[in-house]
């Protein structure tokens, strides 16, 4: 049986186990434990389901993440990349081998390797819109550069060597030439050290989406690019974190899932936390404080924090919206007298 978390359209959640799920069937059986520890079997109506999460095995240990974009299910490893917006506004993205808007549902493989789920079933009835992009594997087969068998072999190899992109594998196998690969990719330029270009190259956003976000930023310079991309529903907060983590070679955390201990948060003075837009999130032993920032490109952040602590400082990346929420939770009075942000940044 597979462990799942069923999220219903009415907002309820229930964890349990399933033997099989076929979205073409009207129901499935969910086996879960009741308060007395006994197993109950519930018949779940597929129309009542919002999404079904298939969690990764619990790894345990630190909540600090080390995944990078290079460990993503890279753009091109499947037929389509989907950006799914639910009726309640939540956005998720990933890849899928098959997508038909007329189907009752579909499975999505999260694009972000830091996602806690191996795959997600999405009920089309709970979805507001789906944006689709053909990925490199699909483009090459459509152009008849490779056949389905060659693509399947390349994808199998890639699953065993996830750091390699599908185009590189096909080229090394002499299935397509260097010239053909460059033509199919439209001569992608070497990755620059800019958030937007990293996201674009990794397949998280399109060039049109990046241009649109940059235009919005040009018109509102107080907003950072990551915030704009999330507000436009082009990306999720964790996508931004993993891109910055890749760019600056730092770990990252998902503060929406973690609770910061009060004594840890107060390791720095309130006015410093508010001004620098950072939040202490953990202590390592007796001599290290871990501080979350959304602006790792600012060389002054770490030095500014060091002035106010005798501990060694380690930076981790977190989404700025989650940092703001944590600051408001732990330092509500200081937030009311907040100064202007230190810079628009990324």
pLDDT, tens digit (0-9, with 9 covering 90-100), for 285-320: 889 999 999 988 888 899 999 999 999 999 999 999
Instruction: Give the span between the Cα atoms of 76 and 328, in whole angstroms.
Output: 40
CB contact at 8 A, 260 and 130: no
3-state helix, strand, coil split of the chain in percent (to 5) is 35, 25, 40
Burial of 245-274, coded b for 16+ CB within 10 Å and e otherwise, reads bbbbebbbbbbeeeebeeebbebbebeebb
CATH match for 2-55 among 2.30.30.100, 1.20.1250.20, 3.50.50.60, 1.25.40.10 = 2.30.30.100
pLDDT score of 22: 87
What are the C-alpha distances in Å from 15 to residues 94, 97, 99, 112? 22, 26, 26, 23
Q: Is the pLDDT assigned to residue 233 strictly greater than 50?
A: yes
Give the domain ranges of the chain: 2-55, 262-335
Cβ partners under 8 Å of residue 328, min gap 6: 335
* Per-residue confidence (pLDDT) for residue 345, from 0 to 100: 47
Mean pLDDT value across the chain: 81
Q: Look at residue 271 and tell me whether its pLDDT is greater than 70.
A: yes
Q: How many whole angstroms separate alpha carbon 294 and alpha carbon 4? A: 32
pLDDT of residue 303: 93
Q: Which of 57-61, 203-207, 252-256 has the lowest mean pLDDT?
A: 57-61
Q: E strand or H helix at 248, and its extent? A: helix 237-248
- For residue 85, with 0-12 CB atoms within 10 Å meaning exposed, 13-18 middle and 19 or more buried, which class applies? middle
Backbone angles phi, psi at 24, to 5 degrees: -85, -15
pLDDT of res. 305: 94
Residue 168 pLDDT class (50, 70, 90 cuts) = low
Q: How far apart are CA 312 and CA 334, in angstroms?
A: 25
Q: Return the minimum-mean-pLDDT range out of 16-30, 117-131, 172-186, 277-291.
A: 172-186
DSSP state of 271: H
Q: Residue 133 burial (CB < 10 Å; 0-12/13-18/19+)?
A: middle
pLDDT in tens, 116-137: 898 999 999 999 999 877 654 5
For the chain, report the end-to-end CA distance as a whole number of angstroms.
Answer: 44
In percent, the amount of the chain with pLDDT more than 90 equals: 40
- Dihedral through CA 291, CA 293, CA 296, CA 301, nearest 10? -70
Question: May I ask the CATH class of domain 262-335?
Answer: alpha beta
- For residues 216-243, give the mean pLDDT: 86
- Tell the residue number behind the tokens 């790792």, with chain if given: 296
Helix (H) or strand (E) holding 274: helix 270-276
- State residue 334's pLDDT score: 76
- Residues recorded for the chain: 346
Q: Which comes out higher in pLDDT, residue 115 or 264? A: 264
Q: Is the model's pLDDT at 188 over the cut of 80?
A: no
In this structure, are residues 23 and 105 in contact, taking their beta carbons and an 8 Å threshold? yes
What is residue 121's predicted lDDT score, i.e. its pLDDT?
Answer: 95
């Amino acid at each position: 049986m597979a462990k799942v978390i069923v999220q219903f359209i009415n907002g309820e959640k229930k964890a349990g186990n399933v033997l099989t799920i076929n979205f073409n069937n009207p129901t499935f059986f969910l086996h879960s434990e009741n308060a007395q520890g006994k197993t109950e079997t519930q018949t779940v109506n597929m129309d009542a389901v919002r999404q079904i999460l298939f969690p990764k095995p619990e790894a345990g240990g630190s909540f600090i993440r080390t995944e990078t974009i290079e460990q993503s299910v890279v753009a091109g490893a499947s037929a389509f990349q989907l950006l799914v917006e639910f009726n309640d506004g939540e956005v998720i993205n990933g890849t899928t081998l098959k997508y038909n808007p007329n189907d009752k549902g579909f499975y999505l493989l999260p694009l972000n390797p830091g996602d806690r789920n191996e795959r997600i079933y999405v009920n089309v009835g709970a979805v507001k819109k789906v944006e689709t992009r053909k990925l490199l594997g699909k483009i090459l087969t459509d152009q008849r550069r490779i056949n389905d068998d060659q693509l399947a072999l390349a994808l199998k190899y890639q699953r065993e060597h996830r750091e390699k992109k599908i185009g590189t594998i096909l080229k090394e196998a002499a299935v397509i030439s260097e010239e053909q690969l460059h033509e199919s990719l439209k001569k992608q330029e070497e990755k620059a050290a800019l958030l937007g270009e990293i996201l674009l190259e990794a397949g998280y956003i399109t060039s049109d989406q990046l241009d649109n976000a940059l235009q919005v930023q040009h018109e509102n310079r107080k907003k950072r690019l990551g915030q704009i991309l999330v507000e436009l529903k082009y990306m999720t907060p964790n996508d931004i974190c993993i891109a910055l983590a890749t760019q600056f070679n730092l770990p990252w955390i998902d503060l929406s899932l973690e609770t910061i201990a009060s004594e840890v948060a107060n390791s720095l003075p309130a006015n410093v936390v508010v001004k620098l837009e950072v939040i202490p999130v953990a202590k390592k032993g007796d001599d290290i404080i871990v501080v979350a920032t959304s602006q790792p490109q600012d060389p002054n952040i770490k030095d500014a924090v060091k002035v106010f602590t005798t501990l060694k400082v380690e930076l981790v990346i977190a989404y700025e919206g989650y940092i703001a929420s944590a600051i408001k939770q732990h330092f509500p009075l200081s937030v009311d007298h907040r100064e202007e942000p230190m810079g628009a940044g990324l």
